[in-house]
Every structure is written in structure tokens, then in C-alpha cells.
Copies of this chain bind each other. A is one copy, B any other.
Amino acid sequence: MSRSLLVIGTVAFDNLETPFGKEDMVIGGAATYASLSAAYFKNDIRIVSVVGDDFPESFLNTFREKNINTEGLQIKQGEKSFFWAGKYHLDMNTRDTLDTQLNVLADFDPIVPESSRNCDFLLLGNLMPKLQRRVLEQMNQRPKLVVMDTMNFWMETAWDDLIDMIGKVDVLTINDEEARLLSKEYSLVKAAKKIMAMGPKYLIIKKGENGALLFHKNQVFYAPALPLEEVFDPTGAGDTFAGGFIGYLAKSNDISFDNMKRAIIYGATMASFTVEKFGTKRLLEVTEAEVEERLQDFVDLVQFDIILDSTI
């Protein structure tokens, strides 16, 4: 039943500082969070990315233990992995980038291994739009579903490439500010219409602690984020969400709107674990029982029954 899933994005080291603590050289990156999140659904997963020779062999083994094929993960001898350092503000929704070192990313040419060019599902994690296109072009046929994540940085520095890519994907995931930047509309409903007119049949607008909206034609679905007592480290939440979303779709091999609703709830559930600890720590140890319990929390959180009639 389950289908193969190709994930591209960064694999990186992060120095993280939040109001709750500080940790250096935490393994992160979009492809890391997304693939580990998707791996929960026991799909056949492959990643395409790049690291330097400073990347620990032990974490490559972690990928493999989770059935994530790393054939497409290039290891550049004598070079260093992509590095990002950031500090979160008290509200955890905003952060300052303290340092970015592209390193191996600077001249990254993503190569999709021959064995991965027929994948059914493709997640284009946040990366230069040109590199996202390079990957899509290497596929033997168009995947059943292409999901793309991006960020404001590419809107500011690679507008034309980005717009071109947006025209080629099925689902775009961005946050609310990015949706406004991309559409030049303040109302998210108007923004969604404009963005879907650029190509994607589905648009997911992420609103951090305020959940996410899924748009398709005239339909809208809203998934709240679970109100958590502690958000320890938001790094990777968006990537975990995207990975959980496409991972569930690949597992169920059903890309109907109703199934996308479920996929969003699964994505939000996976993300709710990621933010509980630094890096991928929590995601790596999450159990089925914990996921089921949190899904039930989602049901309890939003479920209500109103009998619609006109008796008032």
C-alpha cells in the first residue's frame, strides 16, 4: 500500500538558544526533521542532501535505522556541513539568525540516485528554488504528489526562480507572513486565492502556535496547534510538520482533500513532539502510543456537535 517518498532539503548543524537553554552543534536541517517525521509511517524513504566530513557516522546510522535511504546524501570530504545559529525570543514565534555558514551548500548539486527517480511522493524541503527544480527535473516521471516548502529568504533573493517552482508543485507550505509577502494581500483568504492561481492546487499556511490552514479551491480546513505547556525549541517544527503530512499521505496512498485533513493533523502531532526538546531528540524517541494519545488530544480539542436546524 505505502509508496516511496523522496525528501530533499538541508542536513545541518544548528547552534540553538531558547529562553529555556542553549545547545551547540545540534543535528538539524529541513531534510533531517522531515524524513525522520515521515519515517514514523514506515514508508520507503530516501533523502537527497549534502554534508561535510564533519557529519557523524552515528547519525547516518540513525537515518538507516529509521529505514531512510541515504544513497542520495552526498558526503563532501574536506568540507564542512551547513551551519546555522539562532536565538529565539521569549514568544518563540520570532528568532534572530546569529550566524549562517553555507559550507557544502554553497556549490551543492543535488543528484537523485537512479533508484530513487521513480518515487511516488516528493517533498521539496526548504532550499534554493533552483535546487528544488534540479531535483524535480531528474525524476523519471512526475511524482503522484509534489509538496514544496519555502521561506521568505527566497522571496527576497530568488523571486523568479521561486515563482517558477511554485507553478510546478501540487502543495505549497509557507507561513502566514510569507503568504502575505508572496501574494501582496493581507487577508489570508485573499492571499490563498492568489497563490493557488500561481499553480499549487493546495496551499498550507502555517501559523506557528496558531495552527495551520489548508486551502483547496473554495474549501478551507483549519488544524490548531495543540496548546502545549512548554515549547522548548521550535526549530524544525515546520519541517517535521511537512514530513508528517507527506509521510501520512504516502503511507495511506490517498491524496483526497479529506485525507489531507488527516495528514495535517498527523503533521501537527509530529511537530508537537519536536518542539518538546532540542533538535530531533524527541522525534527520535516518540512511540505509537504517544502519537495515538496526542491525536486523541486533537480530537478532544476541536470536536463539538451542533445540530444545525432553525429551531432558535
Contact = CB atoms under 8 A, between A and B. Distances in A.
A186 interface: yes
A187 B231 CA distance: 8
Copies in the complex: 2
Interface residues of A, number: 48
A312 B41 contact: yes
Contacts of A90: 186
A201 interface: no
Nearest to A306: B262
A247 to B, nearest CB: 10
Contacts of A306: 262, 265-266, 295, 298-299
Contact of A301 (B186, B188, B222, B262): B222
A262 B308 contact: no
A221 B301 contact: yes
A285 interface: no
A221, A223, A224: residue with the most chain B Cβ atoms closer than 10 Å: A224
A144 interface: no
Given A220-B227, A220-B301, A310 B288 contact: yes
Contacts of A228: 187, 189
Nearest to A41: B312
Contact of A211 (B220, B224, B299): B224
Contact of A186 (B91, B190, B289, B312): B91
Interface of A: 40-42, 90-91, 186-190, 207, 210-211, 213, 219-224, 227-231, 251, 258, 261-262, 265-266, 288-289, 292, 295-296, 298-302, 304-306, 308-310, 312
